[in-house]
């Protein structure tokens, strides 16, 4: 089955700096890669996603890049703000309705004011 690894497990950045979180996956059949943000005690929220036919996607301060050959994808947050502090999870699936999503172990991001 699919194995998703995520690094780093914790990340601290100064407000205004950029943050990068990286994930790797093992199953070449995976073709959909969402990123979730989870604040303490709350539900994970989908913040951005990318499909395997695209190499990069951007939404304001958030961007995701995908290297399908190397089987890794990354989340980039620019101009970080204190409200970006949360746990971020990457995931991978093969995109079929009802198919399993495989999650990374999470990255706890702290943005220092």
Interface positions with another protein (CB under 8 A): 32, 34, 36, 41-46, 49, 87, 89, 91, 93, 95-101, 103-106, 108
Beta carbon of residue 98, minimum distance to another protein (angstroms, whole number): 3
Asked if the peptide bond before residue 13 counts as cis, ω within 30 degrees of 0, the response is no
Nearest distance, CB of residue 6 and another protein, angstroms? 8
Burial group, residue 79, by CB count within 10 angstroms (0-12, 13-18, 19+): exposed
Record the tokens describing residue 35, joined without a space. Answer: 């990123």
Q: Which is nearer to another protein, 16 or 95 (CB)?
A: 95
**CB nearer another protein, residue 8 or residue 95:** 95
Tokens 């958030």 correspond to 62
């Amino acid at each position: 089955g699919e194995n998703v690894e995520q690094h780093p497990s914790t990340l601290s950045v100064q407000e205004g700096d950029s943050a990068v979180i990286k994930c790797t996956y093992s199953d070449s059949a995976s073709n959909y890669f969402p990123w979730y943000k989870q604040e303490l005690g709350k539900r994970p929220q989908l913040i951005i996603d990318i499909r395997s036919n695209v190499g990069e996607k951007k939404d304001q301060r958030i961007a995701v890049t995908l290297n399908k050959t190397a089987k890794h994808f990354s989340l980039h947050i620019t101009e970080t703000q204190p409200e970006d502090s949360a746990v971020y999870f990457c995931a991978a699936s093969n995109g079929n309705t009802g198919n399993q999503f495989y999650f990374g172990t999470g990255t706890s991001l702290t943005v220092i004011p």
